[in-house]
């Protein structure tokens, strides 16, 4: 069964509005989650690493004031795209990290954001 869920799966919004995407770890407590962005026909680009109870770590070139990440619990991380613009339209994917023997990332089904 699914290990990671994302909600919503698809969202269309007007330019200037904010959109919140939720990422939930279903099977285990995830102290670390990751947020990726994928443009059409391109690879996944890591945006930020979300750590439970602390500030997220953003990759170079990613605006932390535009992409707000909150990891308030061990099973939930949220990504808020603030004042969205058409160029923010993309496929956003979250993942959770499970260490130990598995040492693997489990990916959510993704959220397709379209900003009109």
**Contacting residues toward another protein, per CB under 8 A:** 32, 34, 41-44, 46, 49, 91, 93, 95, 97, 99, 103-110, 112
Residue with smaller CB distance to another protein, 83 or 91:
91
Q: In this structure, are residues 20 and 35 in contact, taking their beta carbons and an 8 Å threshold?
A: no
Q: What are phi and psi of 88, to 5 degrees?
A: -85, -10
Q: Name the residue nearer to another protein (CB basis): 42 or 83.
A: 42
Using alpha carbons, list the distances in angstroms from residue 8 to 11, 102, 108: 7, 28, 11
What is the nearest approach in angstroms of another protein to the Cβ of residue 16? 26
Q: Least distance (Å) from another protein to the CB of residue 102?
A: 8
Q: Is residue 83 a contact partner of residue 18, using CB atoms and an 8 Å limit?
A: yes
């Amino acid at each position: 069964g699914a290990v990671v869920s994302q909600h919503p799966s698809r969202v269309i919004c007007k330019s200037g509005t904010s959109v919140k995407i939720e990422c939930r770890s279903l099977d285990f407590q995830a102290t670390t989650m990751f947020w990726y962005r994928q443009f059409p026909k391109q690879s996944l680009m890591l945006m930020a690493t979300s750590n439970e109870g602390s500030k997220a770590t953003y990759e170079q070139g990613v605006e932390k004031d535009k992409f707000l990440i909150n990891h308030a619990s061990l099973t939930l991380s949220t990504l808020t795209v603030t004042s969205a613009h058409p160029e923010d339209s993309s496929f956003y994917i979250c993942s959770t990290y499970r260490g130990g023997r598995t040492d693997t990332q489990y990916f959510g089904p993704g959220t397709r954001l379209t900003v009109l």
